[in-house]
């Protein structure tokens, strides 16, 4: 069974999506499709199932091919039970057994007997995924399948796809998911498809090599075009002595569209944070008679990067809403520092004027944004987040869902927050935008609280974990992978201490020892750097000694900077004690 694209072209009005694209999928391939939001990844899936029609070229599919498709925003008719909906794909040739349907629905943490009515976006996506997985197919097409799934569901889907014996093409931003489930990678870039027979890690290496080679070719071509342009400008008489084919070749090559190197750097500006940031004491909150969390205390420190996890509906978003003052606590209190400028990125789209263009939407707050690199215009900031000059003047209503989500993120960051509260920030974002966000958080000078089910993202940005379980919020010191490796779910609540440290208590001996060891290490490194300074001054003409000494000093200087950062963090923690 194959799906074959032969010179396929497609565009929306004047925006090219595919330009004479060629690729072949077989029912033995497990392929991940990546690319910037708005470039047409979902369109490729729609072309395969026939929801869109190619404008040029041909799409060939093997006869009698059965395709099962999960869209980003599935439509589900109301009035039927969840079980009836999932069973509706059953046929005489490929029956769906009731126990299989029940199992798939239950794995998505839904009730098979529930009637389809007023479902949230997440419930619709999970129910549609359950139906997709039990439906027989030769090819499985998945568009952002991990959105709205919690960690248990993602692991279940991962294992299902690892065992899946037919063709798979999926669009996803979940990099661990791509790594585990795919043996082929497609990248959609500038209306072209680049194919790699590789998992995600190897794809990154091969892509870097492709870009390096492409830049070399483009550099040579630009040099050639400059020479030919100079020749063309030498005058009519000189040009008449040259071949007409050379002129035609120049005119053809001058139409080449050169790739644009995307910048992934954007650093936050340092703003003042007072001694008190966010302090939660004995907080409890319930909903419809169910306890979401109780007796929860947390003192957020300046250097905290906290990942927050738990099942869907357990109360993670509600915790953020109580911090933002959007919902009251049932008991307990939350104190917010007076100097805080919180950047809150919610799960839901902010209200956007659909007729306003992208640039004006950001300029409405400010035309100038402060960064560590200096002042930046709203236009430059949008360019950093992959909004090219053409998109800047596009009405918001014309943006894809992922582009609107990216624009919402730019809005939050443009306000120069000194605290970040992020609720599922990677949903509907492409991998490239997520990488920009990761680098921004790395440079962010202030605390970050983030709800996410994206394991790769959490591993990159968080060094502490809050996890919801049985109406309690528990604390784990370490990365998300370490949390999973240590099977923390089996740890009793009493075994895990919360991060809140009450003031007016004596400093723990462990913290005191860490401070002493860090001070000792800093002194040792300072002594080594002083000794190397003497070597550098004493041997001004010995090149090799100078090179070796300077290299060693640079390495020690980097280590000193890392130890110094740790020392500042420890001293801030010390402030919580007498």
Cross-strand pairs, 12: 15
The mean pLDDT of the chain is 84
pTM of this prediction? 0.69
Check residues 500 and 157 and name the one with the higher pLDDT: 157
Query: What's the half-sphere exposure (Cβ side, CA atoms, 13 Å) at 36?
Result: 20
Topology of domain 2-203 in CATH is: Rossmann fold (3.40.50)
> Residue 566 class from Cβ within 10 Å (0-12 exposed, 13-18 middle, 19+ buried)?
middle
Residue 249 has pLDDT above 80, yes or no: no
Using 50, 70 and 90 to split pLDDT, how confident is the model at 170? very high
pLDDT in tens, 284-293: 999 888 899 9
Cβ-proximal residues to 200 (8 Å cutoff; 6+ apart), any chain: 32, 175, 178, 179, 182, 185
Q: Given this structure, which CATH class describes domain 278-495?
A: alpha beta
CA nearest neighbour of 529 among 553, 550, 549, 551: 553
pLDDT given at position 140: 96
502 pLDDT exceeds 50? no
Residues contacting 274, CB < 8 A, separation 6+: 337, 338, 339, 340
CA–CA separation, 100 vs 112, rounded Å? Answer: 11
Say what the pLDDT of residue 305 is. Answer: 93
pLDDT in tens, 75-92: 999 999 999 999 998 999
pLDDT score of 490: 44
CA-CA distances (angstroms) from residue 526 to 12, 516, 570? 62, 15, 19
3-state secondary structure of 114: coil
What confidence category does residue 259 fall into, taking pLDDT thresholds of 50, 70 and 90? low
Beta bridge partners of 60: 4
What gap in Å lies between CA 124 and CA 71, rounded to an integer?
A: 11
- In order of 155, 295, 309, 368, the CA distances from 152 in angstroms are 5, 26, 11, 43
> 385: closest CA among 343, 457, 434?
434
Determine the 3-state secondary structure of 282 from DSSP.
strand
Q: Where in the chain are the domains?
A: 2-203, 212-253, 278-495, 509-574
**Which residue in 57, 62, 64, 63 sits closest to 5, CA to CA?**
57
Using one digit for the tens of pLDDT, what is the confidence trace for 519-573?
A: 888 888 888 888 888 888 887 777 678 778 888 887 887 787 777 767 766 776 6
User: Are the folds of 2-203 and 278-495 the same?
Assistant: yes
Q: What whole-number percentage of the chain has pLDDT above 90? A: 42
3-state SS, 250-264, equals HHHHCCCCCCCCCCC
pLDDT computed for residue 25 by the predictor = 95
**Number of other residues whose CB lies within 10 A of the CB of residue 359:** 19
With 50 as the cut, is the pLDDT of residue 488 above it? yes
Tokens of 541: 């003409």
Query: Does 28 have pLDDT greater than 70?
Result: yes
Q: Determine the 3-state secondary structure of 133 from DSSP.
A: helix
């Amino acid at each position: 069974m194959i799906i074959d694209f032969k010179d396929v072209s497609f565009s929306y009005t004047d925006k090219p999506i595919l330009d004479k694209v060629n690729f072949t999928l077989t029912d033995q391939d497990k392929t991940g499709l990546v690319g910037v939001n708005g470039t047409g990844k979902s369109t490729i899936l729609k072309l395969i199932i026939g929801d869109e029609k190619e404008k040029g070229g041909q799409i060939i599919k093997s006869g009698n091919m059965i395709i099962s498709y999960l869209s980003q925003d599935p439509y589900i008719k109301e009035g039927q039970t969840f079980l009836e909906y999932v069973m509706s794909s059953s046929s005489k040739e490929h029956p769906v057994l009731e126990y299989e349907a029940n199992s798939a629905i239950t794995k998505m943490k839904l009730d098979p007997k529930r009637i389809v009515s007023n479902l949230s976006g997440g419930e619709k996506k999970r129910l549609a995924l359950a139906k997709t997985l039990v439906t027989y197919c030769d090819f499985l097409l998945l568009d952002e399948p991990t959105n709205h799934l919690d960690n248990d569901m993602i692991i279940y889907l991962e294992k299902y796809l690892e065992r899946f014996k037919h063709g798979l093409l999926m669009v996803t931003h979940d990099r661990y998911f791509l790594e585990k489930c795919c043996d082929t990678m497609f990248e959609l870039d500038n209306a072209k498809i680049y194919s790699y027979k590789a998992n995600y890690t190897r794809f990154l290496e091969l892509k870097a090599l492709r870009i390096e080679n492409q830049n070399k070719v483009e550099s040579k071509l630009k040099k050639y075009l400059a020479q030919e342009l100079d020749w063309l400008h030498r005058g009519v008489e000189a040009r008449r002595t040259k071949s007409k084919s050379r002129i035609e070749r120049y005119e053809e090559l001058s139409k080449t569209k050169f790739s644009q190197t995307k910048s992934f750097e954007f650093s936050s500006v340092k703003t003042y944070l007072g001694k008190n940031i966010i302090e939660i004491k004995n907080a409890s909150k319930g909903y419809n008679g169910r306890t979401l969390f109780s007796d929860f205390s947390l003192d957020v420190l300046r250097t905290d990067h906290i990942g927050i996890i738990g099942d869907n509906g357990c109360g993670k978003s509600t915790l953020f809403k109580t911090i933002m003052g959007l919902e009251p606590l049932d008991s307990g209190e939350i104190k917010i520092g007076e100097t805080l400028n919180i950047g809150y990125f919610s799960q839901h789209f902010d209200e956007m004027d659909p007729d306003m263009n992208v640039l004006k939407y950001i300029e409405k707050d400010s035309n100038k944004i402060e960064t560590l690199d200096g002042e930046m215009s709203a236009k430059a900031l949008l360019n950093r987040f992959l909004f090219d000059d053409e998109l800047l003047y596009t009405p918001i209503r014309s943006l894809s869902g992922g582009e609107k989500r990216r624009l919402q993120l730019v809005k939050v960051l443009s306000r120069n927050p000194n605290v970040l509260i992020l609720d599922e920030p990677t949903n509907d974002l492409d991998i490239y935008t997520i990488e920009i966000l990761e680098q921004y958080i790395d440079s962010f000078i202030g605390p970050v609280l983030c709800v996410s089910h994206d394991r790769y993202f959490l591993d990159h940005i968080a060094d502490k974990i809050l996890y919801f379980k049985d109406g309690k919020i528990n604390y784990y010191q370490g990365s998300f992978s370490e949390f999973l490796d240590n099977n923390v779910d089996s740890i009793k609540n009493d075994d895990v201490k919360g991060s809140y440290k009450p003031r007016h208590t004596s400093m723990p001996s462990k913290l005191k020892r860490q401070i002493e060891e860090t001070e000792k290490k800093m002194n040792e490194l300072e002594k080594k750097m002083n000794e190397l300074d003497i070597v550098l001054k004493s041997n001004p003409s010995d090149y090799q000694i100078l090179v070796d000494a300077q290299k060693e000093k640079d390495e020690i200087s980097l280590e000193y900077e890392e130890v110094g950062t740790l020392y500042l963090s420890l001293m801030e923690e010390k402030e919580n004690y007498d």
